[in-house]
Chains A and B, each alone.
Chain A
């Protein structure tokens, strides 16, 4: 099992901060191992190690600054972070931009695709918008007539 793999744990820690969902919630999608595999297949070892090293800094005081400085605005980590967020939200890999792959290396796994039917159904976007994945996780007869669930911020 992978749960005591420190790299996988770092991957989950960073994923949780970037997505706004807890590590347990991300595990609860059942997609973490699959996404971890995709992540490693797309990135070179060097880029991967560099990206995951940011996990250690996320425990500090100003987490937002770390996320913006180390991840989002970094020429190497930024596009990776944005692709990772979209992977969790949509179950779909968004290819890295051309100038990024020119700089940090291309991978044949870096193509636009929905990773699996489970990945589609477990996209976080459906929970975030207060709905369910279209075509799966049905809510039951008449559920659409009920008041929508409040967002977590709005409760």
Chain B
């Protein structure tokens, strides 16, 4: 069976659109766990001890990098002439969500617990071998990206890079548009061959920061931690492992072993008692709380609409999204402090529902 050029392009676009949604789908569970952690110093006012500042920072870094991954995927998708979609309700994740169309783990919206962090670690697990991924038999995020790389290479081999990398260059997000911690934006620009190389580099960066899969048996992800020492950062899988072990990794720690660096203090009790998988049912008939939930969803929708615009030529829209992300955080924390009306002692939480109407920016 031979594939024509149009089909080949469509296949790559569909794969990258899936990758975009995959990256997006990790953000609500990570963010929900993150925002449920009571902030340092606030849960016990008589005790100046700062709790959980470090796990908050560790998960925050992972999330910032997931956002960067979305930008990288969008750049690759744009470079082959695709149209990134961020607001298509039939593509957007709803929770509980089966990653990789059911081949990966199911993710839930839950507060910060050891079980939930173990689930996050599972999400970021590297494939044992790259071979099944190359054949399309993937069960991890890393395996999926290996498959994308394989298909990209095969299709470019068949049709030539010039036929594939046909996107408009000014749709590329640059470091000036999106500057955040945890890695550089890679522009997929230049000649067709340069674009191909940049696309592979971008996918490798996503994999390195996620599972550390490309690096061969080390926890480090090659990104330097800013500071005079220039230590190396570690990949997401290992960041979650740090929280579970209450120890930081050393970048040279072997992947099989536990972290051997400095202590990282985690207090699993200093967490908002949010009910698992927040849903509208939990608060129906309580207009005050419904209004807060609605406010969260309006902000979430603003973020998705803004991302779609930014990924489709309106790069300047990215800058306006920074305050939207912080607003999302405030709205989520407010919900997680609001007791559910049933008297159970549990609190409300964000449902991460996209509202297709009525949220102009």
Q: Do chains A and B touch in the complex (CB under 8 A)?
A: yes
Q: Which residues of chain A have a CB within 8 Å of any CB of chain B?
A: 1, 3-4, 22-25, 27-30, 34, 115-118, 121, 137-143, 146
B338 cross-chain contacts in A, Cβ below 8 A: 24, 27-28
A143 and B320 alpha carbons, distance in the complex (Å): 7
Question: A140 and B288 in contact (CB under 8 A), knowing A28-B334, A117-B41, A118-B45?
Answer: no
**A142 close to B286 (CB less than 8 A):** no
**A22 close to B288 (CB less than 8 A):** yes
Question: A140 and B325 in contact (CB under 8 A), knowing A27-B339, A146-B320?
Answer: yes
A4 and B286 alpha carbons, distance in the complex (Å): 16
A118 cross-chain contacts in B, Cβ below 8 A: 39, 42, 45
Cβ distance B322 to chain A, nearest Cβ, rounded Å = 3
Question: Per a CB cutoff under 8 Å, which of B292, B323, B326, B333 touches A24?
Answer: B292
**A143 close to B323 (CB less than 8 A):** yes
Q: Tell me if B190 counts as interface (CB < 8 A to partner A).
A: no
8 shortest interchain CB distances as A-B pairs: A140-B322, A24-B288, A28-B334, A116-B45, A143-B323, A30-B337, A118-B42, A22-B288
Q: Which residue of B lies closest to A22 (CB)?
A: B288
**A117 close to B292 (CB less than 8 A):** no
Cβ distance B98 to chain A, nearest Cβ, rounded Å = 32
B292 cross-chain contacts in A, Cβ below 8 A: 24-25, 28
B291 cross-chain contacts in A, Cβ below 8 A: 22, 24
A29 and B339 alpha carbons, distance in the complex (Å): 11
What per-residue 1/0 map shows which CB atoms of B181-213 lie under 8 Å from chain A?
000000000000000000000000000000000
Interface set, chain B 277-302, CB cutoff 8 A to A: 286, 288-289, 291-292
**A27 close to B319 (CB less than 8 A):** no
Q: Which residue of A lies closest to B321 (CB)?
A: A140
